[in-house]
Chains A and B, each alone.
Chain A
Amino acid sequence: MLAYTIRRILMAIPTLWVALTMIFILVRVIPGDPTTAVMGDYVTDKSLEVLKRQMGLDLPLIEQYGLYLYNFVRGDFGNSLITGAPVLKELKNALPHTLELTFFSLLIGTLTGIPLGVFLALKRNSAWDYLGRFFSLAGISFPSFYIAVLLILLFSMKLDLLPVMGVGPAGDTWARMRHLVLPALTLGLLMMSYLTRMTRSTMLDVLGADYIRTAHAKGLRKAKVIFKHALKNASVSIVTVLGIYTGILIGSSVMTEIIFNRPGLGSLIVGSMLNRDYITITSIMTVYAAIVIFINLITDLSYGLIDPRIRYE
């Protein structure tokens, strides 16, 4: 397992490097000069020159690229073009809100979606199955921001149970949790629908396999066949998809953060996009790439744990 882990971690490094390079290229493609964004439209050419030199934009592209990689390795993301504050600090403030939201939505989705999917697979073609399939298809057809609108309407406006905006005062855990309920529910419902559909179809595949028939035939208890033989074999596929969906979840969290006014990565990237704050955009893209590469890494490592055959390939 150790060799496998090390090999897998080493494989993530070139991916990260390609990701950094592509971010550099993509952000450079965006038209509009960052210096005008900082100074406004009415500036003299002279002061533009000075600013360009300060920002390192007068260097040849290849040197800018080298500097960018060097700074990344040092953990220096530069200063925001708009606020002037170090981007790293802004990231440190925003990241916990996004991670918190992603974690709890994933928790809600996994705890409901996987059991529901197993249940539907066992009740295949019953009324329950049709109902479940219909609702999970409806679930993935909701834009996340629309689920949010409906939840706000019901829980905040009609029932007046939960707060809508912000994340609550710092240090007040109870208020923080109350502010997290609706956003986490928004993404949790989405996640539940994805996982229900996927678990159901994976379980159906596995339940049709010969070894399940054998297990039944040798008189094992039904629960043991389902959980020990079927679900365990289905879990490799479930974990794969769980990894992919976590990526989707991080994307959907952008919308959820905007609607609920949570100061996470999504709000930060949209804000800096509208202000053309290139430095912040580059850094957030890097963080997103790093998170997804990390998730893929964890997914691959958990294959090795679930299925020992994979370790030795």
Chain B
Amino acid sequence: MNQDTRAKIIRTFVQNKAALAGLVISMVVVLTCAAAPFLPLPDPVDQSLSQRFKAPSATHPLGTDNFGRDVLSRVIWGGRVSMLVGVLSVLLAMTLGTVIGLVTGYKGGVIDNLTMRMVDVLMCFPTLILGILFMAALGSGITSLIIAIGIAIAPRFARLCRGAVLSVRQNDFVEAARSMGMSDMRIMFRHILPNVLGDVIVMGALWVGAIIITEASLSFIGLGVPPPTPSWGRMVREGLDFMGHAYWVSVYSGGAIFITVVGFNLFGDGLRDILDPKLRR
């Protein structure tokens, strides 16, 4: 990508107000969560029974929960799990999927056929169901979440990448590289990969939001990060038990998920519109 196209892409991006808004929203969320240890917040796991179910006020802007813990602090600390899982699972899925897609698309033949049948079948299962199954295999915890969700969506990236490789492979420069005696590895990673990476990155950006929802769903079921570490999905679940007299726990922690996912989705949509001129409208 030369400097000219890069400048053009950045310009289009800035003009795309929705995408810019998405970038700003997601950055604000990411930075706030990252900065949690440095913010003047009460301890997110500090219990205080005299402070139970306090409605939102100046001392507790989002109220307190059934253990008297500050909801704002728990929402911000809980976001760290979501952000980490959202970004790292996408990276894992992108890496796995790209490698599988590159090899199967480039080599073709039996390996391609077998792998793609397995990919088809894995895509049959709803992501959440696969996530549940992998979580059961790996046990709870943040590493398990990343691996479980990453593996559950990797087939989708493999499928996309393979398709892109199939069309790039037809190009003359691949033939030229091969006739010069380059190794398959070098052709795949130096010549084909840069041409399919754009598609993979766009899909990755579009999936972050969905993954944050999947993580929250797993935590909601009780298969996420073990307590007392706060996580958004679990907070919505816990709040559900006392919705009648303390709606704020569920509503604000769910609201945090919603705002974050809107941010990432706006950003992903914008990125797709910019990098895929066919869809630009």
A-side residues, CB < 8 A to B, are 14-15, 18-19, 22, 26-27, 29-31, 124, 137-138, 140-146, 149-150, 152-153, 157, 201, 204, 247-248, 250-252, 254-255, 258-259, 269-270, 273-274, 276, 281, 285, 288-289, 292-293, 296
Cβ A30 vs Cβ B129 within 8 A: no
Contact with A along B125-136 (1 / 0, CB 8 A): 111110011001
Q: What are 20 sample pairs from A and B whose C-beta atoms fall under 8 A apart?
A: A30-B137, A137-B262, A137-B269, A138-B258, A141-B262, A142-B261, A143-B257, A143-B261, A145-B216, A145-B217, A145-B220, A145-B233, A146-B236, A149-B240, A153-B243, A201-B279, A251-B127, A255-B128, A288-B129, A289-B124
Query: How long is the Cα–Cα vector from A287 to B211 in the complex, in angstroms?
Result: 24
Cβ B243 vs Cβ A288 within 8 A: no
State the 6 A-B residue pairs at the shortest beta-carbon distance, nearest first.
Answer: A251-B126, A146-B254, A141-B261, A141-B262, A292-B124, A30-B137
Cβ B133 vs Cβ A281 within 8 A: yes
Measured CB to CB, the closest approach of chain B to A120, in angstroms, equals: 12
Cβ B126 vs Cβ A143 within 8 A: no
Cβ A289 vs Cβ B121 within 8 A: yes
Question: Is B265 on the interface with A (CB-CB < 8 A)?
Answer: yes
B residues 203-220 in Cβ contact with A at 8 Å: 209, 213, 216-217, 220
Contact with A along B102-143 (1 / 0, CB 8 A): 000000000000000110111011111100110011010000
**A22-B121, A137-B266, A141-B258 known; A149 and B243 CB under 8 Å?**
yes
Cβ B137 vs Cβ A254 within 8 A: no
Measured CB to CB, the closest approach of chain B to A85, in angstroms, equals: 21
Query: How long is the Cα–Cα vector from A144 to B122 in the complex, in angstroms?
Result: 22
Residue of A nearest to B279 (CB): A201
Cβ A143 vs Cβ B128 within 8 A: no
Measured CB to CB, the closest approach of chain B to A41, in angstroms, equals: 17
Cβ B128 vs Cβ A252 within 8 A: yes
Cβ A140 vs Cβ B265 within 8 A: yes
The stretch that binds A, out of B49-57, B173-181, B244-252, is B244-252
B residues 228-281 in Cβ contact with A at 8 Å: 233, 236, 239-240, 243-244, 247, 250-251, 254-255, 257-258, 261-262, 265-266, 269, 279, 281
The SS class assigned to the A binding surface is helix
Residue of A nearest to B216 (CB): A143
Cβ B258 vs Cβ A146 within 8 A: yes
- Across the interface, which residues of A come within 8 angstroms of B240, CB to CB? 149, 259
Residue of B nearest to A250 (CB): B126
Cβ B133 vs Cβ A145 within 8 A: no
Question: Is B9 on the interface with A (CB-CB < 8 A)?
Answer: no
Most chain B CB atoms below 10 A, which of A30, A204, A251, A274: A251
- Across the interface, which residues of B come within 8 angstroms of A27, CB to CB? 133
B-side residues, CB < 8 A to A, are 117-118, 120-122, 124-129, 132-133, 136-137, 139, 209, 213, 216-217, 220-223, 233, 236, 239-240, 243-244, 247, 250-251, 254-255, 257-258, 261-262, 265-266, 269, 279, 281
Cβ B236 vs Cβ A273 within 8 A: no
- Across the interface, which residues of A come within 8 angstroms of B136, CB to CB? 30, 273, 276, 281
- Across the interface, which residues of B come within 8 angstroms of A296, CB to CB? 124
Cβ A288 vs Cβ B236 within 8 A: no
Cβ B243 vs Cβ A157 within 8 A: yes
Query: How long is the Cα–Cα vector from A204 to B279 in the complex, in angstroms?
Result: 10
Cβ A26 vs Cβ B133 within 8 A: yes
Residue of B nearest to A31 (CB): B137
Since A145-B220, A270-B132 are in contact, a sample of 6 more A-B pairs with Cβ atoms closer than 8 Å, ordered by chain A residue number, is A18-B118, A26-B137, A27-B133, A31-B137, A143-B254, A150-B251
